[in-house]
Structure 1
Amino acid sequence: MGRFVRFASPRNVTVVEEQDQELAPSEVRLATIFSGISAGTELSYYRGTNPYFGKHWDPDQRIFRPLGDGTGAATLSYPVDGKGQEEVGVVVEVGADAGDVVPGDIVWGKWGHRSLAVKPADYVGPRRLPAGANPVLGVFSQIGATALNIVLDADIHVGETVAVFGLGVLGQITAQLARLNGAEVIVVDPHPSRLKTAASLGASHTLNADDGPVGERIRELTGGRGADVALEVTGSYRALHEAVRSVSYSARVVASGFFQGEGAGLALGEEFHHNRIELKCSQSSGVSPQLSYRWNVERLQRTVVDLAVSGRLQLEPLVTDIVPVERAAEAFDLIDRSRERVLQVVLQFESGAE
């Protein structure tokens, strides 16, 4: 029997048993070692704030429709199973046609917070970690790909100043990648511990968001010009507004946080309008059309994992808590209530303790 994490209702997490899947000849069975918790999308399931709970998503027209107009039920309802997108596991069984995938291979990917998973061998093959690599690096493949997508969407040039708003896991990785891309990086967050981590990982300047208007301080650091690019990684409308205030005339702001509800605190008639700011969305499901002939989500993921394994991207310092999966409810509560202390919270399964 395997186990998986269930969101039974808002802020109610349980661990449930499930039957093992049968293995087809071209498939392999994975025993999960670690599964990272996303503090963005997953927390919206945990809190019940995801728009899927209150509206109907029309996948054909790609639009949310309010309930009660004949469009059917909400897209999502409790219990919510199978979430989790930052997994790493060990191959424990292979089908007869699994090719060169063998038991003992360490694999990163996406299969939810579950102890056992069956995946096609051609999915597993390109996602194997090199021998000797720390398995925990595998939990960053998805969120790291999102960060790399932000940097690609930002179109950063060597010598530019980039301001990163929000220093959760996604913001920390984004700041490192922006620096690797040739930028001088200014980071903004209200929590001193997160600012300290970012500074240790290469940020040039740290600004506490609670110590006065950020836009003015970024202009002071850039000789009055403002940042060339601002990357919003908070999901806060007020932070997005301050990101707009921080950039120079005709500059770019990339919004990548998962905003919830209506836009209180965002005044688009002010600096956004008067400074001709380009506002661009970046998120995890696909790459920019201009890059799609060369880049896809799998390449984003592999690039981040390769950078981490080589040591050019520092991800291990972002792991603040490793919690046994039996205490998954405590792990989500920790993220929900202690955002100033925690960064990457990881669920550990039995296969990771052997």
Structure 2
Amino acid sequence: MSIATNNATVVRFTEALSAELVTDPDDRANRALEPDQVRLETLYSGISAGTELTAYRGSNPYLTKHWNEDTRLFEPASAPSFQYPIDGWGYEEVGRIVEVGSAVTKVSAGDVVYGAWGHRSHHIGTEAWAADRVLPEGLDPIVGIFSQIGAIALNGVLDADVHVGEDVAVFGQGVPGLLCGQLVTANGGDLIAVDAIARRLELATELGARHALNVTDGEVAERIKQITGSGADVSIEISGFAGALQEAIRATAYNSRVIAAGFFQGGADALLLGEEFHHNRISVICSQISGVSRALDHRWSELRLAQTFMRLCAEGRVKAEPLVSHRFAAEQAGEAFTLLHEQPAECVQVVLDFTGGAA
């Protein structure tokens, strides 16, 4: 196929609380391909309302500190790991192959591929990378944006080690929490969904939650103890709020575990570690997508997490499409981020449309 002549675009965070679509300085629309490479045109790109908004808002630690890969420590630095302007943040993309290199045989132009390449109109990847991420047949392409966030949710459930018939409380019913809850249910757990937004709790119930608790009604831990008798067998905190982590600790049964899967920002004054955490011998386990449980890392990888999640969607065991609440044309990226920042309760999954479709 001939090389595309249109200019590549990318969403840029020009400064805190400012996003716009600009010409991509790394012109992936027109750059010549190596023999084993493929070119994709992005169809849709999902906005992460957690991790990604920390970069948009300026609260991400990479913007104020330097991440040392060797020591795996954040260090004070005059030159932090990231500085504004930031191009191409984002990790929820799906696109169509429009050109293949001369040696490519495993994929073809027209194949739809999911992955993480940021909010940009074009991407170049290797044949092997693309072949591992071809969208399962029959899925709406928009489901492809959920591959990475779905992998994050699945990783959290694997860390939780849910058993059939266990009571599992999931704190936070944003996109990762709603996916996490469905995976808990698919794994045989009885889901207790917790959030402060009524519409999200309604959606959680529609997607299989046995109980839905609104934190604005108070006494969440007490109500979970009433429902379960002794407390949740395992709780998953995936909202990123320290207060929710404290309540998850309070709600969890003696000598049991809490999975901390949210991306916490700033301090955590809400944690009262001398109370239920100490007296109930609660284990708090971090779940983060850069790795999997030590008990599983000989079998599971980030790629397998994503592939498994997409297969579950294709089989109808997880429903992702109902989570899409807003679609914006890519040119309206600034409006999309403003909405997520100022009116988060109105949103679930916000999507940028690179196809030229109307918002």
TM range (shorter): over 0.9
Query: Does structure 2 retain, via aligned residues, the 8 Å contact 1:32–1:352?
Result: no
How many Å apart are 1:131 and its aligned residue? 3.5
How many Å apart are 1:130 and its aligned residue? 3.1
Query: Does structure 1 retain, via aligned residues, the 8 Å contact 2:329–2:357?
Result: no
How many Å apart are 1:341 and its aligned residue? 1.7
- Deviation track 1:258-314 (CA, whole Å, cap 9, x = no partner) reads 000011211111000000000000011111122111000000000000111111101
* Alignment equivalent of 1:157, drawn from 156, 160, 163: 163
Is 1:292 the counterpart of 2:297? The answer is yes
State the distance in 2 between where 1:183 and 1:341 align: 29
Is 1:210 the counterpart of 2:216? The answer is yes
* Alignment equivalent of 2:107, drawn from 101, 104, 121: 101
How many Å apart are 1:195 and its aligned residue? 0.3
Instruction: Give percent identity, aligned residues only.
Output: 51
* Alignment equivalent of 1:193, drawn from 173, 178, 199: 199
Is 1:273 the counterpart of 2:278? The answer is yes
- The aligned runs of 1:1-354 (5 Å cut-off) are 1-18=7-24, 19=27, 20-67=30-77, 72-223=78-229, 225-350=230-355
- Deviation track 1:100-142 (CA, whole Å, cap 9, x = no partner) reads 3111101101111111111101100121113332001100000
Which aligned runs of 4 or more in structure 1 are off by greater than 4 angstroms?
A: none
Query: Does structure 2 retain, via aligned residues, the 8 Å contact 1:34–1:352?
Result: no
How many Å apart are 1:322 and its aligned residue? 1.0
State the distance in 2 between where 1:193 and 1:128 align: 33
State the distance in 1 between where 2:128 and 2:323 align: 30
How many Å apart are 1:326 and its aligned residue? 0.1
Q: What amino acid is the match of 1:126?
A: D
How many Å apart are 1:213 and its aligned residue? 1.4
State the distance in 2 between where 1:125 and 1:352 align: 27
| Consecutive unaligned residues in structure 1, runs of 5 or more | none
State the distance in 2 between where 1:83 and 1:322 align: 18
Q: What amino acid is the match of 1:325?
A: A
Give SS of 2:45's match: strand
State the distance in 1 between where 2:209 and 2:282 align: 24
Q: What amino acid is the match of 2:322?
A: P
State the distance in 2 between where 1:304 and 1:130 align: 11
How many Å apart are 1:352 and its aligned residue? 6.5
Q: What amino acid is the match of 2:72?
A: R
Query: Does structure 1 retain, via aligned residues, the 8 Å contact 2:167–2:190?
Result: yes
TM-score by length of 2: 0.95
How many Å apart are 1:190 and its aligned residue? 0.6
Query: Does structure 2 retain, via aligned residues, the 8 Å contact 1:33–1:351?
Result: no
- What's the Cα RMSD here? 1.1
How many Å apart are 1:90 and its aligned residue? 0.5
Give SS of 2:273's match: coil
